[in-house]
Structure 1
Amino acid sequence: SSLIRVKGEPGTGNVAEAVRHMRILREQVFRAKALYENGDESELLKMARELRVSYELLNETAKLGRLPVVYFAAGGIATPADAAFMMKLGADGVFVGSGIFKSQDPQERAEAIVLATTYYDDPEVVMEAQMMIDEKKSMLGMDVKKLDLRMQERGGL
């Protein structure tokens, strides 16, 4: 694999699932890193079996402190703040589709999300980007619990 897509629920305008998945990924990487740094090869091997990945991949991941591929976040990202937050959590980039195209201000929103993604570590720029859009024109954030079928249940990639 050359990239990992940390998925939220596409088309919802609700970034919560993407955040949850990114946090799970980070927790697993941090756990592997701690085992690696403590020299606990048997627990690292056990973790590799639990995750159904090769020991070599988990060992490399633990050594790097991240998976050795690009992380992209997608699904539910609808605002510059959403995009910046996913970057802050460790994403290398974001995919935004309906968060832009279902909004009432797609051009402004796209520009603001690009700005916030580029300067995610500068709170003043992220705030400036957030102020470029009108929250009233955002797509409404849907409650993911109320979806008939969630992406993780339908097996979508």
Structure 2
Amino acid sequence: MTPKRIEPGPGQESVWDYPRPPRLERVPERIRILFAGEVLADTVAAWRVLETSHPPTYYLPPGDIAAGALRPAGGGSVCEWKGRAAYHDVVLGGRRAERVAWSYPDPTPPFAPIAGHVAFYAGPMDACLVGDEAAEPQPGGFYGGWLTRRIVGPVKGGPGSWGW
């Protein structure tokens, strides 16, 4: 059963207006990620992927991520839209978080602009900022979207939402 869409207010977006298959678009805001009290990433050149029922997932260029902070992690997964993902651990400031980032080394043609760009789960980070607003992780721990006040749902990820 599809949940009832929340009507967006001024300056808001509904995840139910996002397309399927997903759309890739540039991010106009600065994106920053803090981890272990340090700046893990800082960019004005991010992309976001928008998919029905999901908050945006942000992909950052590798050159705007702290040098040496990403380490290859085992395993992978396949997205029906983007292709095969590779996972990364984050090691910075004396801390390590396992499998908290992913990238698409060779994505499908519609997602070619994010080849090698890296997305991060918001939950394990100290902060993930979209502009000056701290984002919250998408519920459930499986998907990697970031929620801000600009995004309304309900969003997929929490209990009972698997079949949406």
**TM-score, structure 1 as length reference:** 0.25
Query: Higher strand share goes to which structure?
Result: 2
**TM-score, structure 2 as length reference:** 0.24
